[in-house]
Amino acid sequence: MILFTVLFITQLYPLVWLLFYSLKNNEEILSGNFFALPAEFLWSNYQAAYEGGHYLQSLLNSIKITSITMVCVILLSSMVAYAITRFRFRYGNLIMIIFLLGMMIPLQATLLPLMVMFKKVDILNTHLSLILPYIAFQIPIAVFILSGFMRTIPAEIEESAVMDGANTYRTFLSIIVPISVPPMMTVCILTFIQIWNEYILAATFISSASLKTLPFGVFSFVSQYSVNYGAIGAYLVMGAAPVILIYFLLSEKITKGMVAGAVKG
């Protein structure tokens, strides 16, 4: 119990500190008293961050990119996982190994090749230049999670559907997909957290202010308002809030989905 309390405090303290930081003025922040409450709660810091940092625009860009990526990853990875685990063909294991190798490729190693490719097809400085690599980097872990779960689904369920006249597509959509909702939720949440916080590709491929995602917007705001520390803290709080909220609301589903695929597989 004591260890749990210590871990809880150490994990929660940075969030609480950042919240208090965002409500202080520069004098209080520079005083060095990190544990002190704000003498006056400066909610105007949040107004300055919202208006000066184009928060809403960056937020909508992140929602758009993340949503499209999540939908594509779920659709593609679920079909790949179903094919690998249910269709018996010669190179099934090799295909699975190729996807697993994709988890080992560092993001930084792909920046230059992607830059050259996207420049040739004229999609640099567009959201598509982020969505395509995001999908590619998230599919391997998604296939790994979903294939581990689908191997645990009894084949008799599908055989009954085939006997009733269902084809492959109907079996996949009507039986496999509903059963696989828990690991799919896990894939969605992990994809959301990974893509929402991604900065390297966004900073490399996006140059227009109107196309910036939230992490890139945070960096730009910090550079612009380097003397207003309270507003910077407010922008950081608003930038982290969606991920924290999603994680705390759905953290149990992450655990259940991972266990469903790992223990039985």
Tens digits of residue pLDDT in 212-247? 898 888 887 877 766 778 888 888 888 888 888 887
Among 38-52, 103-117, 122-136, the range of highest mean pLDDT: 122-136
Supply the mean pLDDT for the chain: 84
Ordered by start, the domain boundaries in the chain are 68-217+250-263
Max CA pair span of the chain: 75
3-state secondary structure 155-213: HHHHHHHHHCCCCHHHHHHHHHHHHCHHHHHHHHHHHHHHHHCCCHHHHHHCCCHHHCC
Q: What is the mean pLDDT of residues 3-26?
A: 79
Smallest CA-to-CA distance from 216 within 130, 91, 105, 103 is with: 130
Query: Which positions ≥6 away from 76 have C-beta within 8 Å?
Result: 135, 139
Ramachandran quadrant class, 4 (left: phi over 0; alpha: psi -120 to 50; beta: rest)? alpha
Neighbouring residues of 236: CB distance < 8 A, sequence distance ≥ 6: 18, 22, 218
pLDDT at residue 64 is higher than 80: yes
Q: Please give the class, per CATH, of domain 68-217+250-263.
A: mainly alpha
Do residues 249 and 133 make contact, with C-beta atoms less than 8 angstroms apart? Answer: no
Report, as an integer, the average pLDDT of 158-174: 82
Cα distances (angstroms) measured from residue 193 to each of 56, 184, 216, 222, 265: 19, 14, 15, 22, 25
Instruction: Name the DSSP class of 37.
Output: P
Tell me the pLDDT tens digit for each residue of 51-63.
887 889 999 999 9
- Among the residue ranges 37-51, 133-147, 158-172, the one predicted with the least confidence is 158-172
Share of the chain above pLDDT 90, in %: 26
- Is 8's pLDDT higher than 70? no
pLDDT tens-digit readout, 101-117: 888 888 888 999 999 99
Q: Can you tell me the mean pLDDT for 58-84?
A: 93
- pLDDT exceeds 70 at position 252: no
